[in-house]
């Protein structure tokens, strides 16, 4: 295959990471999918991909994974930082330990693997880094303070990184999905502090949990992300941001044009 690339994807054991990793293997790329357990990576292995067991909160685990790719392929053309999860709940009810772990996975682990890959990309004077943010990096939702904090931070991190790496021929792209049918909501419910349902914030908690469980709004097909990542990888000059998926553009547009107070009213009107 012409333009066959060595691609390292974190968060490849489920959701958009898994689906996209398999698609890229089928197109002929050399894909290493990283995840916390092997069971979620078996489908990738069956298609001819490679699996790496990686804990994004462990520097040792991250370094071992990067070294494996380099030792076997001699390079990494594309790093897709896709691993992450959503920690939702009232700020008062979420421990700082849990909040730190949210940052460890969504931001610091991402930064660590990026730092370990960069020397090889710099030496080659080429490379592509895709950071999965979210429309949540541009907007906000009730009870999502820690999750949105990581995504807002990732937006700024990516912008600075893009400027630092320009002279080395390395592109940095931010992927900003909206609602995607990936099981993200189930993950949010799994991390939700149960005591909040009976606490002082129970009115807003009940509204959020009820909406999440009903899944009133269906997200976009995960194939949309796979197609977009493929587009980014094959583009000669990719855009700095790709805002895609259900509600992403409308919600970001509303906040940008009408401001925070109107956006607040819209969000709160959905919680009655």
**Type and span of the H or E element at 92:** none
Task: Give catalytic residues, as residue numbers.
Answer: 13, 133, 147, 151
Angle value at C-alpha 156, between 152 and 157, nearest 5 degrees: 110
Which whole-number Å values give the CA distances from 76 to 46, 71, 87, 214, in the listed order? 22, 10, 31, 42
Residue 39 has pLDDT above 70, yes or no: yes
Residue 212 confidence (pLDDT):
73
Residue 188 confidence (pLDDT):
66
Residue 207 confidence (pLDDT):
84
Residue 272 has pLDDT above 80, yes or no: no
What domains can be seen in the chain, in order of their start residue?
A: 6-269 (3.40.50.720)
Predicted structure pTM score: 0.94
pLDDT, tens digit, 9 for 90 and up, residues 107-123: 999 999 999 999 999 99
Identify the sign of the CA torsion 234, 238, 241, 242.
negative
Residue 215 has pLDDT above 70, yes or no: no
Dist. CA 104–CA 110, nearest whole Å: 8
Q: Which of 1-10, 49-58, 105-114, 135-144 shows the lowest mean pLDDT across its residues?
A: 1-10
Residue 216 has pLDDT above 70, yes or no: no
Q: What average pLDDT does the segment 204-219 reach?
A: 77
Residue 185 has pLDDT above 80, yes or no: no
Q: Exposed, middle or buried: residue 240 (CB in 10 Å: 0-12, 13-18, 19+)?
A: exposed
Residue 187 confidence (pLDDT):
61
């Amino acid at each position: 295959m012409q333009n066959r690339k060595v691609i390292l994807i974190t968060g490849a054991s489920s959701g958009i990471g898994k689906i996209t990793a398999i698609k890229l293997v089928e197109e002929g790329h050399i894909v290493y999918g990283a995840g916390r357990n092997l069971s979620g990576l078996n489908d990738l292995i069956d298609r001819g991909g490679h699996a790496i067991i990686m804990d994004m909160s462990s520097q040792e685990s991250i370094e071992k994974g990067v070294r494996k790719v380099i030792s076997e392929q001699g390079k990494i053309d594309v790093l897709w930082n896709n691993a992450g999860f959503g920690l939702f709940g009232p700020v008062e009810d979420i421990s700082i330990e849990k909040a730190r772990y949210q940052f460890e996975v969504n931001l610091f682990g991402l930064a660590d693997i990026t730092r370990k890959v960069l020397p090889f990309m710099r030496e080659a004077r080429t490379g592509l880094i895709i950071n999965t943010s979210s429309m949540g990096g541009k907007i906000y939702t009730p009870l999502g303070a820690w999750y949105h904090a990581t995504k807002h931070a990732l937006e700024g991190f990516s912008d600075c990184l893009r400027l630092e790496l320009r002279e080395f021929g390395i592109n940095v792209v931010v992927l900003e999905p909206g609602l995607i049918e990936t099981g993200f909501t189930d993950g949010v419910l799994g991390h939700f502090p149960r005591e909040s349902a009976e606490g002082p914030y129970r009115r807003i908690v009940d509204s959020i949990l009820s909406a999440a469980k009903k899944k009133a709004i269906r997200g976009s097909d995960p194939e949309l992300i796979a197609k977009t990542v493929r587009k980014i990888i094959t583009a000669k000059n990719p855009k700095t941001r790709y805002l895609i998926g259900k509600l992403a553009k409308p919600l970001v547009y509303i906040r940008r044009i009408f401001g925070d107070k109107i956006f607040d009213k819209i969000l709160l009107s959905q919680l009655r």
